[in-house]
Structure 1
Amino acid sequence: MNTVIKPVENEIPSPSAAPPPAVADDDPLLNDLVDELFFSLTRSDQRRKGMDYLRGLLSTPGRKSVRNMAAALGGAGTGQSLHHFVCSSTWEWSPVRRALARYTMRESPPQAWVVRPLVIPKVGRHSVGVSRYFSADLGQVVNAQRAVGVWLASDHLSVPVEWRLHLPGRWRGSLDCGTPTPAMAQSETLVGCAAEASLAMIESWGLPPRPVILDLDDTDPLPAFRRLCAAGLRPAARIRPELPLRVTDPALIGHRGRTLPAELVMRAGQELRRPVPDPADPARRARLVAAVRVTRPSTAPSATGTAPEEELLLVGIGRGGRPWPQELWLIRPPESHAGPAALWASGLVDRVERSFARFGDPVGMRDYAGRSFNGWHRHITLASVAHTFRALSPAAEARARPTTVPAAT
């Protein structure tokens, strides 16, 4: 599951913070990214400010606030220029993200789209989208922003290319620098953000579809799962142990027709476990995998003859000698494919998690602190470009061993 960091109250970088790797003025990779991704910024001053903001994200130690970046870049009026560029300028972020997606697909064709939340704890209540909610991972109520990112994930590169910021009720329709927030921010739930962000990449951007892996933490992924299935996609979803499911598998004698938390269903099916090689690391010991046929509790046939939804496969993953199960996934049939597909999806989620920790956090994806909805989207778009630069930089270490891509998910 996703790591939640502590909120930061002070924008001054720690004196002990290690400086980021230097970026040369004539770095060919950075110039190539800027030329291609900022093509939609028709004004030369916007492209210049975009490059300044990227350099601030890449070169500033500690938090990437406008004040800290301006201090690192130097020059009179730099802070005001950077602030205007993300909060008040007229450039649109969606064309930049679409260009980033196409650049990534050319450099490292993705095996899947990984959809995961980004939780950004905050001290106050003034940053756009901040609200209080209960975090099951922390076991307490936290004050935070919540967003959903879609990552193009492969063995060699994991890059976030699309984002949705979840706006609780008090934020919807609020003014953003004198104008209403866009329609896309008005009514999406967190799980709705996950579905809409994925579908928009196909319907609006024209990207060729890939398997969609949902890793939504505390949120029930089934509404998004069904939306994606209805659109002809084949999603896989990691779920929490307490999600209720109705057992339809005849192999679970005495449990068929019962509704139980997913963890109890899988414990009942532990005799079905079989060793399956880990596609992320075939040299390691095989992992134990079991698959049980289930549906949602509301999908039982009714007296009016309403047909149930299609069966899904609940897949448990674990290792010998450890509590069972360690992970739970929902996968569409066939059953013979479920184990390898769940292991493959789990490996890509872990790869994205590591990529975010190594590149995303250091370039300030969580560091925007303003009230502007547009400003948040522009900041995280530029942080995604900075993440891509770091991930593609020759200074990055050799990529992890490749995984085997299943025929479908």
Structure 2
Amino acid sequence: MSGAALHRGTGRPRPMAAAPAAPEPLLAELGAELFASLPRSDQRRRGEAYLRGLLTARGRKSIRNIAALSGGPAAEQSLHHFVSSSTWDWEPVRRALAAYTARVAPPQAWVVRPMLIPKAGENSVGVERRFCPLRGQVINAQQAVGVWAASDEVAVPVNWRLFLSDAWLEDPLRRRQASIPESVRAETLGECAVEAYVGMMRGWGLPVRPVVVDAREADALAALHRLRAAGVPVLARVGGSLRLEPAEPTLPGRGGAVLPAHQIMGAARDLRRPVLWREHDERRGVRTALTAAVRVGVPGRRTAPGGPVRRRDMLLLGLGDATGPWPGELWLTDLLNVPPAALVRLSRLMGRVRRDFTEVADEVGIRDFAGRSFGGWHRHTTLASAAHAVRVLTRERAGADEEAECLGQAS
């Protein structure tokens, strides 16, 4: 395809024109904090060069394309080593990125979102045959989970966890070839999503905010129990087949029956109320949703072997519109005293993340790493997350400056 490549996983053309120039003031400001943990000055210089390349290289953000901006083959070799086989630890860099983001763009919630990375070959760490919903077919792909600091205006990825199956972790040859650390152990996709959040909250000094997560494809109840045990408020999108116990006296099934979530919410149709909210996308403006919220019991863990299962009350939120099927979406939360309108706004942060992923993260190469190693994948993804932060925070500052200028002219 002349002049364009395809966005991986979307089938849409990817422009090959040069990216905008790197926003130098914010790049310098963030880079000083990001690379403070790197022990050598040459590593810091390469980190800055790689970050600038992600922002300005044409097309796919391969190491070759990035190196073409700063010195050709020699630069390519040094950047390849810096990302794929160097010893610098990506976790302090992510911690610095998360702290910077939380300070300059305070999140309303932490959004946990999966990321599928289509691959042509089978040797990149974690690649397996996986179903791609956008393509409607099974493809070779890596599976990862990201944690995003999200608000109405901006979303920034601050932590990542690569999902690795037993086929990778129990094969000594594949582990060795991909340099997978011995500390990496098997987990379910739901456990991967939970640990992506819980892991970054250990010692990073980040503010506690609600976690918004799509748990339709994970073990939703196990994920909810782990997040609640960590002491964090949760708003989780769940599937209609999730079985819960109605706790409202006006609903059928009260008194111990366990029913599918869609059946409980279907019975709450008469409880629907309109909620208004304003989309960040100005083209969509003010939107209306019909909501209904009912208390439900969520089966917990047994207090003792053979003992009763402790029930935990949560709120089941249904979302829809006047013309579509009811419910269109189902969300489960332990934010029992938060108004439905506020819960709707929190749930819409998933859309903010989705838009910023498509419009920014993919454009700065979040899925472009072509190497095979575990460490290389994490280093590239960390630096691409920083490039994403530079781009969206520059956009936000430009918008704030424009608004201030308009207010000054009006006065």
TM bin, normalised by shorter chain, reads 0.7 to 0.9
Match of 1:347 in 2: 348
Match of 1:292 in 2: 294
CA-to-aligned-CA distance 1:68-90 (integer Å, 9 cap, x gap): 32334443412211110111111
Q: Of 67, 72, 81, which aligns to 1:75? A: 72
Match of 1:65 in 2: 62
| Pairwise CA distance, 1:216 | 4.3
| Pairwise CA distance, 1:279 | 6.2
CA-to-aligned-CA distance 1:84-105 (integer Å, 9 cap, x gap): 0111111100000011111111
Deviation larger for 151-160 or 290-299:
290-299
Deviation larger for 242-251 or 297-306:
297-306
CA-to-aligned-CA distance 1:43-86 (integer Å, 9 cap, x gap): 01101111111122111222111223233444341221111011
Q: CA 1:233/1:6 → structure 2, altered by over 3 Å: closer, same or farther?
A: closer
Match of 1:278 in 2: 277
Contact 2:190 2:220 in 1 (8 A): yes
Contact 1:87 1:177 in 2 (8 A): no
Deviation larger for 193-202 or 382-391:
193-202
Q: CA 1:279/1:260 → structure 2, altered by over 3 Å: closer, same or farther?
A: farther
Map of 1:336-375 to 2, 5 A cutoff? 337=338, 339-375=340-376
Work out the CA distance in 2 between the residues paired with 1:301 and 1:81: 56
Give the AA of the match of 2:386: V
Work out the CA distance in 1 between the residues paired with 2:318 and 2:368: 36
Deviation larger for 375-384 or 106-115:
106-115
Q: CA 1:256/1:21 → structure 2, altered by over 3 Å: closer, same or farther?
A: farther
Work out the CA distance in 2 between the residues paired with 1:119 and 1:396: 30
Work out the CA distance in 2 between the residues paired with 1:296 and 1:141: 33
Match of 1:154 in 2: 151
Match of 2:52 in 1: 55
Deviation larger for 126-135 or 67-76:
67-76
| Pairwise CA distance, 1:306 | 0.6
Contact 2:109 2:210 in 1 (8 A): yes
Q: CA 1:395/1:266 → structure 2, altered by over 3 Å: closer, same or farther?
A: closer
Map of 1:18-167 to 2, 5 A cutoff? 18-23=17-22, 27-135=24-132, 139-167=136-164
Contact 1:117 1:217 in 2 (8 A): no
| Pairwise CA distance, 1:179 | 8.2
Work out the CA distance in 2 between the residues paired with 1:253 and 1:301: 28
Q: Is 1:241 matched with 2:243?
A: no
- 3-state SS in 2 of match to 1:398: helix
Contact 2:300 2:309 in 1 (8 A): no
Match of 2:230 in 1: 231
Deviation larger for 89-98 or 137-146:
137-146
Give the AA of the match of 2:240: P
Contact 1:136 1:218 in 2 (8 A): no
Match of 1:405 in 2: none
Q: CA 1:135/1:198 → structure 2, altered by over 3 Å: closer, same or farther?
A: same
RMSD: 3.1
- 3-state SS in 2 of match to 1:309: strand
Contact 1:7 1:123 in 2 (8 A): no
Provide structure 2 residue ranges, at least 5 long, that are not aligned to the other structure.
1-6, 404-411
Contact 1:220 1:239 in 2 (8 A): no
| Pairwise CA distance, 1:199 | 1.6
Work out the CA distance in 2 between the residues paired with 1:195 and 1:129: 19
Work out the CA distance in 1 between the residues paired with 2:135 and 2:254: 32
Give the AA of the match of 1:97: R
Work out the CA distance in 2 between the residues paired with 1:153 and 1:241: 26
| Pairwise CA distance, 1:265 | 2.7
Match of 1:215 in 2: 214
Work out the CA distance in 2 between the residues paired with 1:260 and 1:254: 7
Work out the CA distance in 2 between the residues paired with 1:183 and 1:343: 42
Q: CA 1:271/1:244 → structure 2, altered by over 3 Å: closer, same or farther?
A: same
Identity %: 49
- 3-state SS in 2 of match to 1:185: coil
Deviation larger for 211-220 or 132-141:
132-141
Q: CA 1:273/1:164 → structure 2, altered by over 3 Å: closer, same or farther?
A: same
Work out the CA distance in 2 between the residues paired with 1:129 and 1:327: 31
Q: CA 1:260/1:142 → structure 2, altered by over 3 Å: closer, same or farther?
A: farther
Count residues in correspondence: 389
